[in-house]
Amino acid sequence: MSSYKETFVSTQLGKVRVWEKGRGKRVGFFAGVGGLPKWTPFLDRLSENYRVIAPALPGFPGGPSSEPLDGPLDWVLAVGDVFDAAGLDGGDLIGASIGGAMAMEIAAIWPGSVRKLVLIAPFGLFEEAAPVADIFAQPPNRMVNVLSGKPEDLAAYYKVPDGANPGDWEVQALNANIAAASIIWPLGDTRIAKRLGRIDVDTLLVWGDNDKVIPQSYAKRFATDLGGKSKTQVIKNAGHMAEFDQPNAVAKAIAGFLS
Amino acid sequence: MKVMWFHLMPYQDLPVDFKDKHNSVWVDIDPKLYDPVAGHRLYNEYIDELVYADKVGFDGICVNEHHANAYGLMPSPNLIASALARETKDAAVCVMGNSVALYNPPTRVAEEMAMLDCMSGGRLIAGFPVGTPMDTCYAYGQNPANLRERYYEGIDFVMRAWREEKPFSYNGRYNQQRYVNAWPRPIQKPNPPVWIPGGGSVETWDLCAKNSFVYASLSYFGHQASKVSLAGFWNAMKERKKEPNPFQAAFLQFVGVGENRKEAMDLYRESAEYFYGRCLHTDPSYANPPGYTTEATVRARVGSQVMQAAEASRRRVRQDTSDIFDAGHVVIGSPDEVADKLRAVCKEMHVGHLMLLLHYGNMSAQLTRYNTDLFAKKVLPQIKDLFENEWEDKWWPTGMPAVTEVRAPMGAAAE
């Protein structure tokens, strides 16, 4: 992996780490469960065609503490601040999983702020007939099996890097999960259904064909209820974290849609 | 020392192959396993057992709260406690306790506990557990990200509801109430003694040390596990330069008394195995939702070999129940052996309140009576004096106030 740039920007909640790589059109990335403890091959692939900007959301690795955030309004304003401070206003935005739930809020609440939207298996809806999995109620160290079609690779990605303090690393992962729970506990229903009609930008829905967290049938409901035009692309041999499992295929699908 | 009789109220008819055929005793247990007719018998039998403990001289009787759980049939311990308040005369009624984070508004907890204090004549001990993840985050859907903060605020809310002399407004992070006015008021002033069950969280040690609450180590793994938790509590007390009064601590122990150790093993093995085998058959997936264990506790565990060893021992017993007696999860033996052991561990851990599980698992009413009688007659007299001459128990219910004047009924003055 070639080098990427790390900067820090200020928001009302605190300092936010921003990772950036590549040239060309701006495209923002909000990561999903666990955030970005390390750089990823997906961001590399994306940066071959775009200037990729990946800011850390509150509570996730590199972000300020999410402790002060009490509810959806606090969350949306805090993520809105991150979006602005990272210079993403008016650009394209990709949101994966929990990051997808927040990306939809930005597009719904601030019209014109997002040019084109990409959602990789976003949280936000819940259907009793095909329930979203309880990602937190998993046997110890088995969350990776639910998130990814390549659980060993994902476990290796989350592993403490050489020289890092295991306590700090564990606390970082804990805080990311606390932030995730703060947004999606207990069902993953963020009530976005009430706001989907406000999202009037072109949207690409990306879904792994073996998503064990959010059934593929949800893509259909998003496509029907979104206010703008949408297209769905299913990625082969991929789980919930399709961008982790198949970075090339997901980056290619996104490049095709954004160009 | 105060010696208390604790009931979990387990369901007794879990099938022999429960561990193989069912995922967990908690949260997702099959509702079809519950027979309400058996429930009728069990509730009445269990209440009788608690009432009997009062009669034979135990200082307190204890109930607790669990949800969607087959070994704890008291979603509302207050309902059982209200029956006990009527049917007993002397024992402290220890509700251990109400998970305040689950009640919205927590006014309900202040009210019901005040009712119990009035009904029992000032015999209530008010316990406030944060609640297990299974009870709170899964069975009751609370967000683990803010469960603890909600719990702390709930305690503060209830304490104010008991202490304030006028209706007041509460503007908390999680609770906003224009009018808080708990009617009735508790008999005990300014409030019933507050006890906090703990399982080794750093925050709970600090909470008890800071507010002068009783720290109660409630572990199913006996004094070995409680030793670690209580050492942490006394350490937190020392750091705050607080007096190490053993009556500010409590701990829970399973006990089986027989004429001798061999008889006791024969008598209690089945009930113990039922409890540790079937009742503790829980799904570890429900054990650790994010935020339930705090950053401070995670850091303490990463660095503490003692805590890791205690956890490893707990895991072992879940898999293999042959260790129950040897590891001290259940203290077993002749009355003298049990008395010596309990005296030694209470002294070592510096604990003035001993909570006993003399019923566990599928123990019959007859065997429970035998265990209770033997304990009351032959063990209790040997351990009661511990700490009593050196320390004052400031965390024990006061009972009814001394009568200084008889209040005229309302309206009498106008006549």
**pLDDT-flagged residues of chain A (< 70):** 1-2
Which chain B residue has its CA at the smallest distance from A172's CA?
Answer: B295
Cβ neighbors of B294 (< 8 A, separation 6 or more) are: B148, B201, B202, B203
B146 touches chain A (CB under 8 A): yes
| Chain B positions in Cβ-Cβ contact with residue A66 (cut-off 8 Å) | 145
Structure tokens at B55: 């009669």
Q: How far apart are CA A26 and CA B70, in angstroms?
A: 56
B384 Cβ contact list (under 8 Å, min separation 6):
B1, B3
- Is B286 an 8 Å CB contact of chain A? yes
Nearest to residue A26, comparing CAs of A84, A111, A65?
A84
Residue B114 inside a domain? The answer is yes
Bridge partners, residue B353, by sequence:
B2, B250
In sequence order, which ranges of chain A are alpha helices (DSSP H)?
41-47, 72-85, 98-109, 143-147, 151-158, 166-184, 217-225, 242-245, 247-258
* CA distance from start to end of chain A: 24
| pLDDT, position B310 | 59
| B291:A177 CB<8 A | yes
Q: Is B6 helix (H, G, I), strand (E, B) or coil?
A: strand
Structural domain boundaries enclosing B273: 2-400
Residues of B in contact with A171 (CB under 8 A): 295, 298-299
- Residue B19 token pair: 């561990």
Number of domains in chain B: 1
Measure in Å the smallest separation between the Cα of B30 and chain A Cα atoms: 18
Q: B298–A171: do the CB atoms touch at under 8 Å?
A: yes
**Kindly report the CA angle at A18 between A108 and A102, in degrees rounded to 5?**
20
Report chain B residues whose CB lies below 8 A from the CB of A142: 285
Between chains, do B295 and A171 touch, taking CB under 8 Å as contact?
Answer: yes
pLDDT recorded at residue B415:
40
Q: Is there a domain that residue B410 lies in?
A: no
Of B284, B289, B302, the CB nearest to A167: B302
A38, two tokens:
């390390």
Give a yes or no: residue B224 inside a domain.
Answer: yes
Nearest chain A residue (CA) to B293: A174
pLDDT, position B308: 61
pLDDT number for residue B414: 44
Out of B145, B283, B299, whose CB is closest to A171?
B299
Phi, psi of A96 (to 5 degrees): -110, 135
Interaxial angle between packed helices B36-55 and B77-87, expressed in degrees from 0 to 180 and rounded to the nearest 10 = 40
Residue B279: which residues within 8 A CB-CB, separation 6 or more?
Answer: B10, B14, B25, B70, B71, B361
| B153 belongs to a structural domain | yes
Q: Is B145 on the interface with A (CB under 8 A)?
A: yes
Instruction: Enter the CATH code of domain A5-258.
Output: 3.40.50.1820
Tens of pLDDT along chain B (415 residues)? 999 999 999 999 999 999 999 999 999 999 999 999 999 999 999 999 999 999 999 999 999 999 999 999 999 999 999 999 999 999 999 999 999 999 999 999 999 999 999 999 999 999 999 999 999 999 999 999 999 999 999 999 999 999 999 999 999 999 999 999 999 999 999 999 999 999 888 899 999 999 999 999 999 998 988 999 999 999 999 999 999 999 999 999 999 999 999 999 999 999 999 999 999 999 999 989 999 988 888 887 776 655 565 566 566 666 566 689 888 899 999 999 999 999 999 999 999 999 999 999 999 999 999 999 999 999 999 999 999 999 999 999 999 998 765 555 555 544 4
Handedness of CA B355, B360, B365, B369 (dihedral sign): negative
Q: Which of B150, B153, B292, B302 to mutate to test the interface with A (most CBs of A within 10 A)?
A: B302
